[in-house]
Amino acid sequence: MGVVAFLGSLDVATIFLTSAISLVFLKIVQRAIWGPRKKLPPGPWRLPVIESYHHVHGGPRHHRISDLAKQYGPVMMLKMGETPTLVVSSPELAREIMKTQDANFAQRPRLPAAEVVLYGCSNITFSPVGAHWKLLRKMFALQLVMYIYI
């Protein structure tokens, strides 16, 4: 007996109830593995797959983001596809993040592909900010200046 024949013999209510119980079970397992969701800044509602793209589409994007900032505050979370994006629209908060707290916000994500291809994220693009990254940046700037013709 095939899967289609088996599903055809079941009642719609049975399929619905089994699906609902499975989804609840998967949600419980997900919370047990990854823990509770972190508290994120507010942001607009999202659609599946395209996430927040529909909020910034149409018209100049900086105008659309400014309108969203009026509604959700100076710090908001947009999700563009798979990438969560923190939007800071206040000059004071931007200065705080970029100048005062720069070391806390300067870390890069550890991507599995970069771990394998780029020798454990040891190049200038994926290296964590620290002594090694500063040395790489100095070497990069020196190489860049060496080939400029005056």
Q: What residue spans define the domains of the chain?
A: 1-37, 39-106, 108-150
What's the whole-number mean pLDDT along residues 22-47?
87
Q: What is the pTM of this model?
A: 0.56
Round to the nearest angstrom and report the end-to-end CA distance of the chain. 80
Give me the pLDDT at residue 73, please.
Answer: 94
Please check the confidence at residue 149 and state whether its pLDDT lies above 70. no
Which tens digits make up the pLDDT trace of 85-133? 899 999 999 888 888 887 777 777 778 888 888 888 888 888 888 898 8
Which tens digits make up the pLDDT trace of 61-94? 889 999 999 999 999 999 887 788 899 999 999 8
For residue 42, what are the CA distances in angstroms to 57, 63, 69? Answer: 19, 19, 10
C-beta of residue 127 within 8 angstroms of C-beta of residue 135: no
The residue assigned the tokens 């550890």 is 110
Q: How far apart are CA 78 and CA 84, in angstroms?
A: 6
